Amino acid sequence: MSGQRKIYIGTDSGATTSKTGGVWDDGTAVSTKLLQKPTNSESGPGAVVEGWMAGIDEYLRLNGLTWDQVAGVGVAMPVTFKRYGVMDKPANLPPVFEGWDVYTDYSNALSKRAGRAIPLAVGNDGNYGGVAEAQHARGSRKSSVVMLAPGSGLGCAFIDARGLPLDGDTLAGMEAAHIPAPLHLLGTKAYPCGCG
């Protein structure tokens, strides 16, 4: 990678579409145009990884970049995790995805394509979006930020004053849709989440 500018690739993977983008090593956007492709979740985890890889290949080609320049990859998903990179029961994906080791499968595919290990970050889309929004919103100030992200569900992120998302076993993904709400007091029926 010497002599060439490093880039970091990110994929925002939803149940139906995945978007790929990139930033230079100084944090500026490679392009303001995201590449959008079907996620192919109906065909299982292997097809999803193949789609992410095809998305990166096309993004690099469209922007005149090479795998030699890729210094790291991240994938953001609307799911909670049992442990780092291992999916819990997803609300918007087929049951075959429960327990999928996203980190291992994607990391192996990246290494094979690049011919070397590529650092990989796997996390909840709400948390990753929250970190970015907090950085933008607060600038150099030290303060916490709460972000709500409505979509097919209601994602939420709480970013502390250090810029880190509140996360972990009991707060995985901070899915606001999983916050207990006293709907019975309003006489409203509570509907179960797709994740169980």
User: Where along the chain do its domains lie?
Assistant: 7-124, 126-178
User: Residue 176's pLDDT is what?
Assistant: 60
* 8 Å CB contact between 172 and 156: no
User: Residue 1's pLDDT is what?
Assistant: 44
Give the ranges where 84-155 is alpha helix by DSSP (H): 102-114, 125-138
Q: In CATH, which of 3.30.1490.20, 3.30.930.10, 3.60.10.10, 3.30.420.40 is domain 7-124?
A: 3.30.420.40
Rounded CA-CA distance 65/13 in Å is 22
Give the ranges where the chain is alpha helix by DSSP (H): 45-62, 102-114, 125-138
User: Residue 139's pLDDT is what?
Assistant: 77
SS3 label, residue 37: strand
User: Residue 193's pLDDT is what?
Assistant: 64
User: Residue 196's pLDDT is what?
Assistant: 57
Q: What is the DSSP letter of 33?
A: P
Q: How many CA atoms lie within 13 A of 165 on its CB side?
A: 24
pTM to 2 decimal places: 0.83
SS3 label, residue 21: strand
Low-confidence ranges of the chain (pLDDT < 70): 1-3, 151-153, 168-183, 191-196
